[in-house]
Amino acid sequence: MTIILGIESSCDETAAGIITDKGEVLANVIASQVDVHKIYGGVVPEIASRQHLLAISPTVEEAMQKAGLVWQDLDAVAVTQGPGLVGALLVGLSYGKGLAQAIGKPIIGVHHLEGHLLVNFIEHPNLQYPFLALIVSGSHSDIVLAKAPGRYQLLGQSRDDAAGEAFDKISRAIGLGYPGGPAIQKAAQNGDPQKYTFPRAWLEADSFDFSFSGLKSAILNFIRQCEKKGEIWRVEDVAASVQMAICDVLSAKAIRAARLFGVNTIVLAGGVAANSCLRNCLRERADGLQILWPSPIYCTDNGVMIAQAALRKWEKKDFADFSLNACPGLQLYE
């Protein structure tokens, strides 16, 4: 049996996950920095790096303890190499390299988005290639054709703000704070998604790209107009209508891409995959397509996803050497 430790530190979560090649999750420990960054309305890179430094050892040690393992039980140490904040990435990567060196085990560098994508195999082990993935996070809104392990074709992406970024910026604009996605989803539960029809940027008819920055401008404009006219708006209705506008476009384009490329499964990945409106929009439009998503704990950044993506590399003995460096703009696609 192979046991892999995955370390994630690309943004504002310090995380360690331990899995086996039999698909068992032995530990999943996540130290979130959300409360530290909340007062600034978003992630402050320098603070994120310092918080990672404080959290990295206790997080990994807690994961080892939860799994009931000693260092020598590990077969490999996997780290997020990129993309992400360079200072944040360096903390997990340096710790991982030091650990691997000290215990004499291989080090594996992992692409953060491949982690988000492949974590679906933890709960859906029968998932078959090819499938379509909608990777929606704070920095990505990618429609991806997963052709085979390690072979990913980018079909569409955001031309400006990522979906999670749109949630975060709009949440701040309507006074719901950070992180925006969960806050908007919560407020939307008591709102009417049909109350306001905010703009959807469909772009060219054949494009799988997205654009969300116009939506943010439309909301700011809407608030200004309401103030001018003395009209009252309910934050719950705006949250529900905004959420619907984002999920409408994401789901419609993902479904169209799946049909065009002849795949029968769409998997969701990334922080925004936790959004229930997005899941519902996809399910309602699915018409025979299988729609899968990870549990919320595996949507947000975690170490299990890094260990899961490392398994594929482990099988090919695709190990890094100790010159492995953080790569904020690391590419994944063919």
CA pair distance 11, 301, nearest whole angstrom:
8
**Region of 60-68, 131-139, 191-199, 306-314 interacting with ligand KG4 (CB under 6 A):** 131-139
**Which CB sits closer to ligand KG4, 96 or 181?**
181
CB of 112 to Zn ion, least distance (A): 6
**Which CB sits closer to Zn ion, 9 or 137?**
137
Residue of 187, 275, 294, 303 that binds ligand KG4 (CB under 6 A) = 275
Both tokens of residue 56? 């990295």
Beta bridge partners of 76: 4
**Which CB sits closer to ligand KG4, 6 or 180?**
180
Nearest residue relative to ligand KG4 (C-beta) = 181
Which segments of 32-109 does DSSP mark as H helices, in order? 34-38, 45-67, 86-103
Indicate the Cα dihedral angle 262, 268, 270, 271, nearest 10°: 150
Residue 274 in the binding site for ligand KG4 (CB under 6 A): yes
CB of 137 to ligand KG4, least distance (A): 3
**Region of 60-68, 96-104, 132-140, 312-320 interacting with ligand KG4 (CB under 6 A):** 132-140
**Region of 152-160, 224-232, 294-302, 319-327 interacting with Zn ion (CB under 5 A):** 294-302
Which segments of the chain does DSSP mark as H helices, in order? 34-38, 45-67, 86-103, 112-118, 120-123, 163-173, 180-188, 213-229, 235-260, 276-285, 296-299, 303-315
In the window 295-324, what residues touch Zn ion (CB under 5 A)? Answer: 301
Both tokens of residue 150? 């390690």
Residue 137 in the binding site for ligand KG4 (CB under 6 A): yes
Report how many residues bind ligand KG4 under the rule CB under 6 A: 19
**Phi, psi (5° rounding) for residue 146?**
-85, 105
**Which CB sits closer to ligand KG4, 106 or 164?**
164
CB of 84 to Zn ion, least distance (A): 8
CB of 18 to ligand KG4, least distance (A): 20
Residue 138 in the binding site for ligand KG4 (CB under 6 A): yes
Q: 100 with 77: CB under 8 angstroms? A: yes
**Which CB sits closer to ligand KG4, 106 or 171?**
171
Three-class secondary structure of residue 26 per DSSP: strand
Residue of 33, 137, 211, 302 that binds Zn ion (CB under 5 A) = 137
Both tokens of residue 322? 């100790």
Residue 272 in the binding site for ligand KG4 (CB under 6 A): yes
CB of 271 to Zn ion, least distance (A): 6
Cis previous bond, 130, omega within 30: yes
Beta bridge partners of 8: 15
In the window 140-179, what residues touch ligand KG4 (CB under 6 A)? Answer: 164, 167-168, 179
Round the CA-based radius of gyration of the chain to a whole number and report it. 20
Residue type, 165: E
Q: Which one of ligand KG4, Zn ion, none interacts with residue 275, CB within 5 to 8 A by kind?
A: ligand KG4
CA pair distance 331, 2, nearest whole angstrom:
27
Residue of 9, 28, 51, 139 that binds ligand KG4 (CB under 6 A) = 139
Q: Is the dihedral of CA 33, 38, 44, 47 positive or negative?
A: negative
**Region of 103-111, 181-189, 199-207, 307-315 interacting with ligand KG4 (CB under 6 A):** 181-189
Neighbours of 146 (CB within 10 A): 23
CA pair distance 150, 146, nearest whole angstrom:
8
Binding site for ligand KG4 (CB under 6 A): 11, 137-139, 164, 167-168, 179-182, 185, 270-272, 274-275, 300-301
